[in-house]
Chain A
Amino acid sequence: MSVQFKNLELNLGKFHLGPLNFESASSGIHLIKGANGTGKTSLLRILMSRTAPTAGEIMGAQMEVGVVGVEPWMMGSWTVKENIEWFSQLLGRKPTAQNLEKISKFYEQRFDRLSLGQRRQVELSFALAMNFKILLLDEPLSPLDHEQRKIYSDLITQAATQNLIFITTHQENEFSDKAAKVLSL
């Protein structure tokens, strides 16, 4: 399974993205590189079907996708455990326990009471544990400290052996030398 853009364009008044032509590999890390405001997050929004492209086609992304970093998606007033249980039930499958061990210490805490870095750990761990075939990560490691960056970059790299992962970045990072393909905006 791969994702393909054909002459993909997004026109939002003063902002214009594309035309983009790109075909992903069936799995692996795919970097979307570009400076601030070049349309990295907008492209992720198109991939998750939140925004319709103005022109062109996108093929292969018409399935559930895991998203981290575009905007928070867990229920703030629920505990981490309640969120994990509810989203697992919504998606109809159980998360792999191995990926959730790292965040078990946050289970009883309300999601909105966690720090930004802790929230990111929870969302990343859960997204990896749900084994999405397509995972969209918007600057996924930016709120994490040095130690956590290492842990999660390894986990993401490991997940990319089976899944298709798009990662946005505006600078060289842990994934630069591991990317199967790079799309520069």
Chain B
Amino acid sequence: MMLALLKKDFRNACASIGPAIMLGIPMLLIIEFTQSSTSTVSWRSAFWLTYFFGSTALYFRSFGLENRFKNFHFYTAFKISRLKIFLSQAIIQFLAAFLMGCFYLLMTVFFFSPTDLDARHFVELIALTSLTLAPIGTVLGLMLQLEREFLFSIVYLPLATPVILASFSLSLGLEGSWLYVLLSFLVGGAFLSAAIFEFFFDDLSA
């Protein structure tokens, strides 16, 4: 069952990752071209801003397949575990966001030519950030399928903003408490998302 869910979510993610990646390229391009010699934007700021918007576009399409064909009810009829549906989507969203982040890093190198990039550390940070945001993003995707966009600003932004700020600070080399912030959101966000997922999912399949 889990393998089938992963396969379906992977297929859905393959269709979503292209448009999400394409969103980031013009963003990086615009940021790079709108800098002036006296007012420059840090390549880290450009990267994390682009990553935030790109990942949101990616999560937005969670459960896009079921929403498009209005067939959420088969999960209920076939008694498919909500936890497995959540886990499958979160795992695939993590992988997709991680790949997207790595692609954006390459684009950032291309546009900004940073001289102080510790690539390994940065890739680890992209992985940790993707792992933190994927469960929250999975619930976000579900909320958006319910046409409850207002929940985006009151639920997702307060959860995602500290994660991006912590990731930015960690990429500057400011370890200390930012790592604890990120880890707290990783654990807390995963538990909270898993706990509320069933409520939103059952609302959709009813």
Question: Within residues 62 to 79 of chain B, which ones have a CB less than 8 A from any CB in chain A?
Answer: 65, 68-71, 73-74, 76-79
Q: How many B residues touch A, CB cutoff 8 Å?
A: 20
User: From B8, which residue of chain A is reached at the shortest CB distance?
Assistant: A86
Residue in A49, A71, A73, A92 with the greatest tally of chain B CB atoms within 10 Å: A73
- Tell me whether B8 and A48 are in contact (CB under 8 A): no
Residues of B within 8 A of A51 (CB): 206
Residues of A within 8 A of B76 (CB): 48-50
Residues of A within 8 A of B7 (CB): 86, 89
User: From A63, which residue of chain B is reached at the shortest CB distance?
Assistant: B79
Nearest Cβ on chain B to A85's Cβ, whole angstroms: 9
From B68, B71, B78, give the contact of A90 (CB < 8 A).
Answer: B78
How many of chain A's residues touch chain B, expressed as a range?
A: 20 to 34
Residues of A within 8 A of B80 (CB): 90
Residues of A within 8 A of B73 (CB): 48, 50, 67, 70-71, 73
User: From B5, which residue of chain A is reached at the shortest CB distance?
Assistant: A90
Q: Determine chain A's interface SS by DSSP, over half rule.
A: loop
Nearest Cβ on chain A to B47's Cβ, whole angstroms: 34
Nearest Cβ on chain A to B16's Cβ, whole angstroms: 13
- Tell me whether B79 and A74 are in contact (CB under 8 A): no
A69 within 8 A of B: no
Question: Within residues 49 to 93 of chain B, which ones have a CB less than 8 A from any CB in chain A?
Answer: 65, 68-71, 73-74, 76-80
Q: Report the separation of the CA atoms of residues A71 and B205 in the bound assembly, to the nearest whole angstrom.
A: 11
Q: Report the separation of the CA atoms of residues A48 and B206 in the bound assembly, to the nearest whole angstrom.
A: 10
- Tell me whether A89 and B3 are in contact (CB under 8 A): yes
User: From A70, which residue of chain B is reached at the shortest CB distance?
Assistant: B73
Question: Within residues 125 to 180 of chain B, which ones have a CB less than 8 A from any CB in chain A?
Answer: none
A117 within 8 A of B: no
Nearest Cβ on chain B to A60's Cβ, whole angstroms: 14
B1 within 8 A of A: yes
- Tell me whether A64 and B71 are in contact (CB under 8 A): no
B contacts, CB < 8 Å to A: 1, 3-5, 7-8, 65, 68-71, 73-74, 76-80, 205-206
